[in-house]
Amino acid sequence: MKTTKTLLLAAMVWSACFLMGCASGPPNPGFRVETFTQDDEGIFDDPQRGIDLNIRRRYEPTTGTIDGFLNRRTNSAAYFDADNGIAPADWFVKETDGACQGLEVLERFNPGQASDIYCRNISFFFFFAEPTTISKSNPPASILVRGSGLSSAGGMPVVEYFSQDGTLVDQVTAYEVSVGGTWARGYTPNLSSSPDGFYTLRIKNPDGTIIGSARIEVTSTCVPTQQQLNDCQAQGGNWDYYYCFCTTGPLG
């Protein structure tokens, strides 16, 4: 009787998972790509999205052996498992259809982990930040954002800094705006205790209207030990001072 109940319970769990799309974790070796779309209403899963993956740089020691996945598609749960994909490594991920067809981003993937790709189909404009890379040890005094629609009517624009997980890290009020509303400048926030990675800058006019977004990368100063340099050289690699890793691939 006990065995019958156990089998019945297992069958019920399996059926529920089949119907509801239960999923295991990302593969290892390998990694997972999750696709999302963002519009004026919010952020949503973006299932059945066509993607291409091509490796750019690997970081030894790595797991996995596959260095490319072409003509693939995320599943109904909006993810694609890159089984046996090389990691840790930087990969180009390109969307091949949908609202962001042609979008290509560079993402760092670690073994057994997932990374999110966002298609931003929103009504405001893309801005550009200068500089695009911020060193924690030697940050610039200010950051310039270029775009259109900036206004100083009733105050000054505000630039909000969001980390990759969507956390608001800081916000800065611009101290200078061009006459034509094509650029604004504000002081660089203190990002010394923030994690390395890409940050989204959201630009808002004084009336609170969101008019655009830009992207920067925040990095730490790389000071490898002599032992790290020796070990890297011994395995035939090159030390990448930008990413602070020993890599067997080409630099840059």
| CATH number of domain containing 89 | 2.60.40.1120
Q: CA-CA distance, 146 to 125, in Å (whole number)?
A: 10
- Digit-by-digit pLDDT tens for the chain (252 residues) are 444 443 444 444 444 443 334 457 899 999 999 998 876 566 788 899 999 999 988 898 999 999 999 999 999 999 999 999 999 998 989 899 887 777 778 888 999 999 888 776 555 567 889 888 888 877 889 999 998 899 999 999 999 998 866 678 899 999 999 999 999 999 999 988 888 888 888 898 998 887 888 888 888 766 677 887 888 888 888 877 665 667 765 544
User: Does residue 247 fall inside a structural domain?
Assistant: no
| Same domain, yes or no: 112 and 129 | no
pTM over 0.75: no
Domain that holds residue 149: 125-219
Burial of 7 (0-12, 13-18, 19+ CB in 10 A): exposed
In a domain, residue 157? The reply is yes
- Tell me which amino acid residue 210 is: I
The single-letter code of the amino acid at 54 is N
Residues 6+ apart with CB under 8 A from 21: 76, 77
Same domain membership, residue 140 and residue 114: no
Structurally, the chain folds into a number of domains equal to 2
What is the DSSP code (8-state) at residue 28?
S
